[in-house]
Structure 1
Amino acid sequence: MSAAANSSLGPAGATDAAEPLILAGARLPGADEVVDLHLAGGRVVSVAPTGETPAGEESPGGIRRLDLDGRFVVPGLHDRHVHFSQWAMVSRRLDLAGAESAAAVARLVGASVDRGDHEVIGFGYRDGLWADAPTRAVLDAVSGEVPVVLVAADLHACWLNSAAVRRYGVSDGLAGTSGVLREDDCFRLVREIDDVADTVLDGWVADAAHRAAARGVVGVTEYEMRWNRDDWARRVAGGVDALRVSFGIYTQHLDRAIAEGLRTGDEVSGTSGLVTVAGYKVITDGSLNTRTAWCFDPYPGLGAAEHPYGLATVAYDELVPLMRRAHGAGITPAVHAIGDQANARVLDAFEVVGCTGSIEHAQLLRRDDVARFARLGIVASVQPEHAMDDRDVAERYWAGRTDRAFMLADLAAAGVELALGSDAPVAPLDPWVAIAAAVGRTRDGREPWHPEQAIEARAALAASTGGQGTTVRTGMRADLAVLELDPYAASVDELRTMPVAATLLGGRITHSVPA
């Protein structure tokens, strides 16, 4: 990427948001002409044919000018659903993603213990298709007195050895012979092992934020199960300023949020507009891989003691007043529902409360409920890469129903607003991965899975820009991504690995590739 004399792109963060800037020789996807984008005051002041003076301006003169050489510019990308602290932590934990059995996990744990680790924290196992079951005995045999806590890839289960059961005060009755904790029991333990010193975690978060900016990301919606306002205000004050962050509020913090007058969309003071209030997050069922997503049909092979239909983790007669209380205080509900029965009941609740909001995940739906999403104005906050991760386990546990799983095309055709995300660390915090999965319904060279539910690249991009659409236009915030390829013409594999030349947040460069 070339630039005028003394105007090399420079290091990320080198451009102040208020510094006028012209991105010359840009191309906008879907348009033929080459344009110059004039940025000032954190916004796009004009979009004009290349070489023309920006409207209302004298000759650019000393205005900094960057030549994009025909690269493509799109609105910056937003990940609608992340657990940012956990995403920042996973690279420091034992990677279990490739393990295809409990025995394979035990070998990885044993190797970690042999290296001298005093505690083993792992992430990423998926046991839905394993021939052998997780047990405490399997881990105990390779770990001895070294505590072991392994978090499932879907975040809804964790697997402990006996030393960890003792260390974290988990009752033998709760841990059982499996050592597996699910749903709320898992969440409580994960919060405890995630208790990292602020100074350490903030450094990891800063690194993760810069990695996200390198993929064209300008904003995330954060759903860590803690009071995130103060965490993000502290981070921004400490210089973590590569992303806009909207933080979610969980039930345990709802009274505090209401008492402090927080409302969805509010900016947090002292954060230069980078931190805002998101919605009220409530989890109403589990997940597919943990076999706790609440469904109308039973999971094959599960006995009555194992919740054959999954779990309703918040009763309907509790959910409605909680949503009503949040809505009445100006906090928009963002409700987790994965199974078809969970989605149906959450839509019932939205209708009774009379408010809009989002359903987070919306993985398995009844066809009639697609129309209800549209009629009620509910956003489908979905994670397309989960379809790639879960296709085989879905074929086993949702057999005969996978035509109703991850129904992106049907939702879009019904007029439902889609918002794409990753649920990082469940999937990578990389919107191009989500876009590729939505467009291609394939990964790793496999045949597309239910390709009838694929959506076009334009629709996937629109669902990934935080409501900014697909086209850079005059007056919009100068949150932009500069791409090497036309996203509308790129193949699915090219979308997945889309090269990002630069990212700008309010006209300030947060990522750039050296010229």
Structure 2
Amino acid sequence: MIPASAGLETPNPAAAHPESLLLRNIRLPGSDVLHEVQLTQGRIASLAATDSTATDSLDAEGRFLIPGLWDHHVHFTQWVIARRRLDLAATTSAAEVLQLVRGALSADPELSAAASQGAGAGVVGYGFRDGLWPDLPSLSSLDQATGSVPVGLISGDLHCMWLNSALQTRLGVSTDASGLLREADSFAVMDQLQDPASLTPEIYRQTAQAAAERGVVGIVEFENADNISAWPMRTAAGVDSLRVQVSVWPDRLQSALLAGISTGDVLDERGLVTMGPLKVISDGSLNTRTAWCWDPYPEVDLMHPHSCGMQTVPMDELQEVMRQARDGGISAAIHAIGDRANTAVLDAFEALAMPGVIEHAQLLRWEDIPRFARLGLTASVQPEHAMDDRDVADAYWAGRTDRAFPLDALTRAGVPLRLGSDAPVSPLDPWVAIAAAVSRSRDGRDPWHPEQRLDPATALAAATRGGTATGGHQVRAGDAADLVLVESDPLAGEGSGLREMGVAATLLGGRLTYDGIS
């Protein structure tokens, strides 16, 4: 561990950034005036009207310069893996999923034969969303489609799995007649489906590089893993195009505390990895119908123990682990999706007099929105989830969706916002999140609750490191030279224009991590 009080804004000392770099002919959002920006020792030294003819510089040719973008909620290993799994995202029924699985098995008979004999991993798929399926998943139908080949299918929200009998036998788990596992039972199985040997530094480097090509300079890592050890090893192995703030989950909290690690500490020699928050999941998700709500889900037996969703950790246990983190200098980021979960998590923060972040904040009671600001809490939100879930929300949160994903209401209440993807739940691409926040629309559909749209400046600021708390949609002298050059003015964009924003270059501490100009 390398202590550092400057935290994530510290330019990485060993990342070979140039001593000095001049960016010529740049424009700032909202202006047509050309500027030049001097970068020195990884920071922005000055901004001035351009009149330079220097040749040891980068000519932006009138492109727009903005602060580097952050994805404030990522499961990076799951994002790496999901890109290599059977894609189920376009399916709209159990029957369609089974058809894709049959196709994958028939396309690779050698894989099927090896997996049946215990020599292969079988088939792992990702991305189904069963909330509005016209047919129900069942163990028997999956077994009929897959036979003796182990098959595990992961839902798009990562909170549910559909497993056949062959995989259940291999892993020593069992389901009911649906073949589904939810929440903690599902998470445990997902961990066993990873192939560590295939997760090479090069695969991580390529995935991080793809993010840099979309203007990403940093992520907040919420993978349920030993992030404190893993990410310093990755940066040492050349995965160096991103800054990473790592989280710790409750089962590893004591180790972090015993090591004396606090939020903000630098963890690697490159200065790219810093300690972030404790992560706790307090409830489930909407599509899996486990988000903990004040009102029951429709067509669910009111006597069912989870008719309103589920609390995944007792509140006294949540408060205790948060207290331990607070006393050890580690902040907290708590997952809460349903309105009852958000109320309970707000109560926990208030009882502990502890600032922090609520992750997702998807469904809120009106009276709880101002509590975020009063308690000094940040809402870390994923606007693209509103586009993914608008139909299932209309079905399961009927009559309540005016307070679902209430981005404008949170902003007007003075709540700092940070945008993220929850990748792989939605793509690790801040422009997707920005576009969804600004338009509340996708695929040509009418905006969904357009009253909750954000203006482009607010959305852009929420996708930078400081979030809306700093109004960070403009570059400023003295800031770290984590910067992005884009093809058009992001303050003038909307909808598909923002979603498809062209990125020309990305700089991390003044070092080009993506160069689409030269």
Please confirm whether the aligned pair reaches a TM-score higher than 0.5, indicating the same fold.
yes
CA RMSD of aligned residues (A): 1.3
Is the aligned partner of 1:77 residue 2:69? yes
Any residues of structure 2 matched to 1:474-513 within 5 Å, and which? 474-513=477-516
Cα distance, 1:32 vs structure 2: 3.9
Counterpart position of 1:309: 308
Contact 2:438 2:494 in 1 (8 A): no
Is the aligned partner of 1:147 residue 2:150? yes
Percent sequence identity over aligned pairs? 53
- The 2-side partners of 1:131 and 1:363 are apart by 25
Instruction: Give the structure-1-normalised TM-score.
Output: 0.93
Any residues of structure 2 matched to 1:28-427 within 5 Å, and which? 28-51=28-51, 64-115=56-107, 116=109, 117=111, 118=115, 119-171=122-174, 175-197=175-197, 200-270=199-269, 272-303=270-301, 304-305=303-304, 307-427=306-426
Contact 2:383 2:405 in 1 (8 A): yes
Q: Deviations over 1:268-311 (max 9, x none)?
A: 132x2100011000000000000000000000112334611100
Number of equivalent positions: 488
Structure 2's unaligned 5+ residue stretches are 1-14, 116-121
- The 1-side partners of 2:69 and 2:141 are apart by 43
Contact 1:86 1:194 in 2 (8 A): no
Cα distance, 1:322 vs structure 2: 1.0
Distance 1:61 1:441, change over 3 A: closer
Q: Deviations over 1:210-230 (max 9, x none)?
A: 110000000000001011121
- The 2-side partners of 1:66 and 1:383 are apart by 34
Contact 1:412 1:418 in 2 (8 A): yes
- The 1-side partners of 2:383 and 2:490 are apart by 17
Q: Deviations over 1:330-373 (max 9, x none)?
A: 11010000000000000000000001000000000000100101
List structure 1 runs of 4+ shifted beyond 6 angstroms. Answer: none
Instruction: Give the structure-2-normalised TM-score.
Output: 0.92
The amino acid of 1:284's aligned partner reads: S
- The 2-side partners of 1:126 and 1:252 are apart by 29
Structure 1's unaligned 5+ residue stretches are 1-14, 53-59
Q: Which SS does the other structure have where 1:488 is aligned?
A: helix
- The 2-side partners of 1:511 and 1:32 are apart by 24
Q: Deviations over 1:243-265 (max 9, x none)?
A: 00011100000100100111111
- The 2-side partners of 1:151 and 1:449 are apart by 27
Q: Which SS does the other structure have where 1:151 is aligned?
A: strand
The amino acid of 1:168's aligned partner reads: L
Name the stretch that deviates more: 161-170 or 297-306. 297-306
Q: Which SS does the other structure have where 1:481 is aligned?
A: strand
The amino acid of 2:133's aligned partner reads: W
Counterpart position of 1:445: 444
Q: Which SS does the other structure have where 1:246 is aligned?
A: strand
Counterpart position of 1:435: 434
- The 2-side partners of 1:501 and 1:18 are apart by 19
The amino acid of 1:20's aligned partner reads: S
Counterpart position of 1:4: none
Contact 2:235 2:268 in 1 (8 A): no
The amino acid of 2:478's aligned partner reads: G
Contact 2:264 2:275 in 1 (8 A): yes
Q: Which SS does the other structure have where 2:490 is aligned?
A: coil
Name the stretch that deviates more: 148-157 or 133-142. 133-142
- The 1-side partners of 2:18 and 2:182 are apart by 49
The amino acid of 2:299's aligned partner reads: G
